[in-house]
Chains A and B, each alone.
Chain A
């Protein structure tokens, strides 16, 4: 089954404790992206990747890191999480980056930072 897999689904952590949210897709998609979704603000793009080893900042990159060492994986790293990073996070992928075919989204990760 074609899908984007995120883990974990739920995560509660403490301020400052480094964490990684994993994302993997099995569709050979070139383009991958991370979004956070907050009430009233919608989906905001954190980082995106056009292909292996090619990443760039979205609209809200502060406090986040990403890497794209393999085509299928695009982990999101929070080096020192803070309470304002409490949010619902989605990983998404698309066939190409030059003309989007629309995203396939992962199931989401609900992160709480206390």
Chain B
């Protein structure tokens, strides 16, 4: 089992819909969780971080963390074509390393 698993997609949603991106992880000791967005040919950029169980909202983005079930998700409300990108889930399983999932490609259709 991979340490961080994401559905590679592509996930296709119509403009204005909610996009739901999911990530599961194997290390129960993981403390910090992150979502990054990466446009084609560009470097990843941090969208959100979450450390505690529950929801964390920032504008159109909501991160959800459930440590008991070992999953973290990202919801994008009112999806826009400009949200089309690859979304990377990342976490710190303890220590000083940060591990990334392979990413989910999102397409938002106008």
| A45 lies within 8 A of B98 (CB) | yes
Query: B1-32 toward A: CB 8 Å interface, digit per residue (1/0)?
Result: 00000001000000000000000000000011
Give the chain B neighbours of A41 by CB distance below 8 A: 102
* Interface size range of chain B in the complex: 20 to 34
Give the distance in Å from the alpha carbon of A97 to the alpha carbon of B31 in the complex. 13
Number of A interface residues in the complex (CB < 8 A): 26
Query: Does A74 sit within 8 A of B, measured CB to CB?
Result: no
| B44 lies within 8 A of A48 (CB) | no
Interface residues of A in 38-63 (CB under 8 A from B): 40-45, 48, 50, 56, 58-59
Query: Does A103 sit within 8 A of B, measured CB to CB?
Result: yes
Query: Does B34 sit within 8 A of A, measured CB to CB?
Result: yes
Query: Does A33 sit within 8 A of B, measured CB to CB?
Result: yes
| A99 lies within 8 A of B31 (CB) | yes
| A104 lies within 8 A of B32 (CB) | no
Give the chain B neighbours of A103 by CB distance below 8 A: 34, 36, 44, 46, 98
Closest to A98 in B: B96
Best-buried of A48, A50, A100, A104 by chain B (most CB within 10 Å) = A100
Give the distance in Å from the alpha carbon of A106 to the alpha carbon of B8 in the complex. 24
Best-buried of A35, A40, A43, A48 by chain B (most CB within 10 Å) = A43
Query: Does A108 sit within 8 A of B, measured CB to CB?
Result: yes
15 residue pairs A–B, Cβ–Cβ below 8 Å: A42-B101, A42-B103, A43-B44, A43-B90, A43-B100, A44-B100, A45-B97, A45-B98, A56-B96, A59-B99, A100-B34, A102-B49, A105-B45, A106-B43, A108-B43
If A42-B102, A102-B49 are given as contacts, then 9 extra A-B residue pairs at C-beta distance below 8 Å, sorted by A number, are: A42-B100, A43-B88, A45-B97, A45-B99, A100-B34, A100-B49, A102-B34, A104-B46, A107-B42
